[in-house]
A and B are shown apart, each in its own frame.
Chain A
Amino acid sequence: MWFSSGMQRAVWAVLLWPYLLTLCIPLVCKEEQGSLTRCPSISQEKLLDRVIQHAELIYRVSEESCSLFQEMFVPFPMRLQRNQAGYACITKELPIPSSKSEIQQMSDKWLLHSVLMLVRSWIEPLVYLQTTLDLYDDASEVLLNKTKWVSEKLLSLEQGVMVLIKKMLDEGMLPTTYSEQGLLHNDGQPEMLESVMRDYTLLSCFKKDAHKMETFLKLLKCRQTDIYNCA
């Protein structure tokens, strides 16, 4: 009720505006808009390296969070049957290929846009994940901090990718659109096991997508053979 989409956007905009400001400065130098803050313009190679580092970090932290959650909440017999709970990854709707041959046939533009789509589609679920994890009685501080950190870093990653798109593809700044993934809202009081399995699925799906993002970006990097030496 209260979480209508419009209100949600407003809420997120209000909550996330400091991040936008802080993250804008090092990554996006607004020379055209005549901003007060001046930063030295970053080269494309360094920007790409920085974006890749972000993606690597995000993947590592998400992997740790997933394993933590699995140890704490998921019963042992259920651990290998992740999909049997019936929850599919939220991003499976996205038109992203999953085989190497297909991926290597993607253009740079398509790679970057895919990454951007992925990032944007995960911003909201991560916020939701934070709230649900708080509901757990035994959730450790470490887990909570990690999820919080990941959600923050994801925003900066989005900014970086947007700047990269602008630099590499000479496209304008795309408006930030939040995905319409309404699947994650709470409906009532789910059972403990179900919520656990759902959250577990969420975490593992996010881990995969983080790895996907990292791989795409690295492919993009090594395609610039004149600069990089991906031996």
Chain B
Amino acid sequence: MRQDETLSANVWLKCPAKERKNHSLRKRGHSMTVCARMRRDLGLALLSLMSVAVECNGMSPPGKPVLLGCRSPEKETFTCWWEPGSDGGLLTTHRLYYEKENVEGIHECPDYRSAGRNSCFFDKSRTSIWVEYNLMVVASNALGNATSEPLSIDVMEIVKPNTPENVTLLVEERENSPCLSVRWEPPRNTDTKSGWVTIKYELRVKQQNSDEWKEYASGTQAYFSLYNVNPGVVYMIQVRCRLDHGSWSDWTNSTHAKIPNYLQNEKLVWILVSILSAISFITAMCILVMKRKHVQQCLLPRVPVPKIRGVDVQLLKSGRAEDVVSALIFNQNFPSMGPCVEPIEEYLIVSDNYDVPPSSQKRKKSLINRAGIHTDLEIQSTSGQCNGVMAKESNDERDNFEKSNKSLSEDTISNMEPDQLPTQKPQCSNINLINTGTMHPPNHNSVAERIVYPLANSSYVDIQRHENIQEVDMDYNKVKEVNGDNIFIAVKENMEAEEKNIPKDYSRVTEVESDNAVILHIQNISADSSDSCSKEKRNHNTDWTDQKPRNPHVTRPSTGGVCIQLTGSGYVETIPVPPLM
């Protein structure tokens, strides 16, 4: 290459003009073009040489830097950053120049160091707000400069604060529910007190296990309370802020807090309460069980069962009627028959002597045989019963006697007026005076035939029976015991045998006990005196039933006199019977 060049250069240099004179003009032109070409080639060659030389060294002007952006943390200062391009192998410097809106001229960045490499920091004195800044970065080295694209900013638009600081968490327990109280401080260097900037906060919460954040706005307050926290869970909290209407800051680092478990305390309390209540309940039940009878008495008192005194329920249950009745009657105490109180009564003395004039006898007559004399019954039975009795009278004496008897019998117990005796016709005596025939004093028929005439509506006991009675005057009747309806009759008669012709066997009704019972009184006739009679009479009582035997005999009055006494107890006062005739 060099030989050619030198050759061409020699040719070019040696390009004579003489020699070429002889030659024709043609040769000059040709020689001229040849020289130019050679010169051109030479230049090119030189240039290529030089470029090759340069490339072998690696130097070039710097590349174009790029302005990344600016930021003001508190609206009082700001910082801008750029990214440099290639440095071109040489030492390149970057300079930032800016223009302010109201200020003439181009200014350079005052501080390249405070904010780090490739940055420019504008302090407070050089920061104007609401003013446009026009920035550019120039990279320059030995070979050249490179200017970045311009950037226009207004400080109020590039505000981005630092993160809040000192985030503290506090777990509080309010009204049995846990609460997480978060507190923090505004970032440093921000002037919130003068009102230059208005700061607003935001926080977000997340449970440790989940991935979802929940955001809350806190306004201008530097504290916040979280109420929907669950015990036993770990929470993570982050806070950020912004100034005026600028950009939000970055989130703070997570702060952790664990909510303790409060349920254990409550459980203890409930366990104690349940144990105490169980103990008290068990003791109460034991007391109740032990005193159940007493309790039962209090709560469910017994209702008295109806009861009859003397009646045995078991006996009733057995079902034997007889026993029941006997039991009833056994228990039943009939009122005791007290000793007969003898009323003071007049009585007629009936004597044996039939010769006695009637008039005088009248007064003396007394009816001995009071058989069949009933108290009230005789009064009732005065009607129509006389016939049988009447017919049998034959003797005058007997008649008299009978009359007197009858009359007496009629009057029975009551006093009779002797005057009436004789005049009375044979009247209805008691039918109970049965046989007139038997009334014959001399004839004491052994046959004691008693005819009982039934009485109408009377409860008088009529018994028909046959009885053999001796003619002995001394005989006295003994009443049989009749066991009819469980009623026994016991008659005991002690009559003194001394008396003559004193029919000893007569009975007298003393009392009518009931419909079925009649008490007969047996007299003790003694000739002695009435007093003895009275005495003796007290000893004897008879209880008669319906089937009482009737003593038809009408005993004669003894000579000694017969005292007819009337029992007082239960004695029914008779009403003087009106004469039938």
Using CB atoms and an 8 Å cutoff, list the residues of chain A in contact with chain B.
59-60, 63, 80-84, 88, 92, 98-101, 104, 208-209, 211-212, 214-215, 218-223, 230-231
Contacts and interface: CB of A to CB of B under 8 A. Distances in A.
B130 A98 contact: yes
B151 A208 contact: no
Contacts, number: 70
B151 A80 contact: yes
Given A80-B151, A100-B75, A211 B130 contact: yes
Contacts of B134: 83
Contacts of B129: 98-100
Contacts of A214: 244
Contact of A82 (B127, B130, B152): B152
Nearest to B132: A83
Interface string B106-139: 0000000000000000001101111110100000
Interface string B152-170: 1010100000000000000
A200 to B, nearest CB: 13
Given A80-B152, A98-B131, A211-B130, A219 B196 contact: yes
B194 interface: yes
Contact of A231 (B101, B124, B151, B193): B193
A98 B128 CA distance: 5
15 contacts: A80-B151, A80-B152, A83-B132, A83-B134, A98-B128, A100-B124, A100-B191, A104-B196, A208-B130, A211-B244, A212-B130, A218-B195, A218-B198, A223-B194, A231-B220
B514 to A, nearest CB: 117
A215 B196 contact: yes
B222 A101 contact: no
B292 interface: no
Interface in B306-327: none
B101 A88 contact: yes
A104 B150 CA distance: 32
Contact of B245 (A59, A82, A98, A231): A59
A81 B132 CA distance: 10
A100 B304 CA distance: 109
Contacts of A80: 151-152
Contact of A230 (B128, B151, B156, B193): B193
B458 interface: no
Given A88-B101, A100-B124, A219-B195, A83 B152 contact: yes
B76 interface: yes
A92 B102 contact: yes
Interface in B347-367: none
A81 B195 contact: no
B190 to A, nearest CB: 11
B181 interface: no
Contacts of A215: 196
A104 B191 CA distance: 12
A88 B99 CA distance: 14
Contact of A81 (B152, B193, B244): B152
B124 A99 contact: yes
A100 B124 CA distance: 8
A113 B154 CA distance: 24
Nearest to B194: A222
Q: Which of B75, B129, B191 has the most CB of A within 10 A?
A: B129
Contacts of A60: 245
Nearest to A221: B195
Given A101-B124, A208-B130, 13 more contacts: A80-B151, A98-B130, A99-B127, A99-B129, A100-B76, A100-B127, A100-B196, A208-B154, A211-B130, A211-B244, A219-B194, A221-B195, A231-B192
Contacts of A88: 101
A14 B87 CA distance: 66
A63 B157 CA distance: 11
Given A98-B128, A99-B129, A230-B192, A208 B156 contact: yes
Contact of B101 (A83, A104, A218, A230): A83
Contacts of B127: 99-100
B195 A230 contact: yes
A184 to B, nearest CB: 19
B194 A230 contact: yes
Contacts of B245: 59-60, 63, 211
A224 to B, nearest CB: 10
Given A83-B134, A104-B194, A219-B194, A211 B152 contact: no
B193 A222 contact: yes
A100 B243 CA distance: 15
